[in-house]
Amino acid sequence: MTVSSPGRVNIIGEHVDYNDGFVLPFAISKRTWVDAKRSEKFVISSRGYGRVEISSLKKTGKWTDYVTGVLKELESSGFKVPPVEIKIWSDLPAGSGLSSSAALETAVAFAISELLNLKLGKMDIVNISVRAERNFVGVQCGVMDQYTAVFSRKGQAMLLDTMKITHEYIPLNLNGLSFALIDSKVKHSLSSGEYNKRREETRRVLEILKKSSYRDVKIKDLEKISDTVLKKRAIHVLEETKRVVRAAEFLRSGKMKDLGELLYESHESLSELYEVSCDETDFIVEFLKKNGIIGARMIGGGFGGNVLVLDREEKIKRIFKKMSDEYFKAFKTKPTLMMIESDDGARIEGRD
């Protein structure tokens, strides 16, 4: 029995999903497939990473933790998980800001649920996958990635309220424009610490202000924050959340130029206030802006990965070719371009 789960692109709303903000993601047609069957021992294999036998559900610090963490959380939820063999393959690049970890986690949870007839609901799969990444892998992620992997619909973006954990579908009517991804070829590792550090910084702001949520914080409240770094982090969270709400309205009404301007504003905030960009992604965004691309910004946790681009497909390809040569001169590596399409969330692909 095989299931698959998609990667995702977040149009706007970066680093606010763990701060009770709004986000605007959609699933893409790059996916991770998981085949699960009963076995005499726990075996995890991947076409890209090899075959590993697991003697116990303990953390190893390796890529298998994303799988083992899900199995561990299933057991912590009261389900007995017998030895299983899990085979994984994917056309979703890891470490590129496309949420490959959430795709893997949700696919594993879904596959095991189907194999063992656990009857997990969609939200159960989301919660188990989020806990696996937080408790086992050690990345204090928000809910967006796993939620998008499960609830997405082809042709739709989701305006997701990460405080209420509710969403509204918004048609991806781009008025003849397309989304694309430019891979900087700089790979990030969120578990290395910077991601968790940003989360702790935003938590400290709430602690100082004696607030339980950023929904209760106003810009004027930040006058009480003397630490410059903490203030910058909080300004990003508040302003980015506002940008998401505006972006959803622009998407509904087909105002693509206005949406593009918000993408550039988001990138500037992520680079200068939240400080999660890098020279390579800054270079790409600045080049695209100077050459008249409607909108672009870094996506994902940061420190590398992909840049999201909005414009006509032909124009994106033409400007990318020009940019690629300049990028190679600056960084001695070639970026890659991928046009993207929306897709459905996690689904059963077939049964043995």
Catalytic residue annotation: 145
| Cβ partners under 8 Å of residue 231, min gap 6 | 205, 222, 225
Q: Which residues on neighbouring strands pair with residue 84, listed in sequence order?
A: 38
**Tokens found for residue 80:** 């007995």
> Residue 254's CB: how many other CB atoms inside 10 A?
14
Using alpha carbons only, what angle is made at residue 256 by residues 253 and 260, rounded to the nearest 5 degrees?
135
Tokens 């393959």 -> residue: 89
- For the sheet with 306-311, list strands across it: 295-298, 306-311, 178-183, 336-339
**Tokens found for residue 205:** 């702001």
3-state secondary structure at position 191 = helix
Do residues 180 and 309 make contact, with C-beta atoms less than 8 angstroms apart?
yes
The runs of H, that is alpha helices, within the chain are 65-76, 100-116, 122-131, 144-151, 194-209, 228-253, 256-272, 279-290, 313-331
3-state secondary structure at position 122 = helix
For β-strands 42-46 and 84-90, DSSP reports them as parallel
3-state secondary structure at position 157 = strand
CA dihedral 219, 294, 325, 317 (to 10 degrees): 140
What CA–CA distance (Å, rounded) separates 16 from 238? 8
Q: What is the DSSP letter of 62?
A: S
